[in-house]
A = this chain, B = another copy of it.
């Protein structure tokens, strides 16, 4: 399984009057987690953009099981598919407290496609990303 853990401490501005993380912020957590996963893989998103590729989000889902509260330390786990991406990539997420791994707070997914930024049209996964995923899948 090709997965990456991102550690995030819950901020005051992310909590609502019920004292818990407001539900929309999990999508922000997912974004940071996959950005750092790509960086760990050796392919920062900023480099993809410079190469003329962008990755718009095509669909998302989140399932909320428990609440997180102010100052909690969360792990956002990004799980990449075990196949080489062609036109799109679907990343699964699991969120839990750093100190209580069994207690899942939320799960979800984000699907992104590849776009030729200049032409504004879909394109195939960039060669460099495909090679990295192949290398990582061979390793696991």
B12 touches A13 (CB 8 A): no
Bound CA span A137–B125, Å: 48
Interface string of A103-140 (1 = CB under 8 A from B): 00000000000000100000000000000000000000
- A62 contacts chain B at the CB level, 8 A cutoff: yes
Size of A's binding interface in residues, CB under 8 A: 34
B71 touches A44 (CB 8 A): yes
Interface string of A9-37 (1 = CB under 8 A from B): 00111011111001110011001100100
> Per DSSP, are chain A's interface residues mostly helix, strand or loop, or mixed?
mixed
Q: What is the count of identical protomers in the complex?
A: 4
- A3 contacts chain B at the CB level, 8 A cutoff: no
Bound CA span A11–B59, Å: 20
Give, as a whole number of angstroms, the nearest-CB distance from A19 to chain B: 5
Q: From known contacts A18-B56, A60-B62, infer whether A46 and B70 are also in contact, taking CB-CB under 8 Å.
A: yes
The 10 closest A-B pairs by CB, nearest first: A61-B61, A46-B71, A24-B27, A23-B57, A59-B63, A17-B19, A15-B17, A60-B62, A13-B22, A58-B64
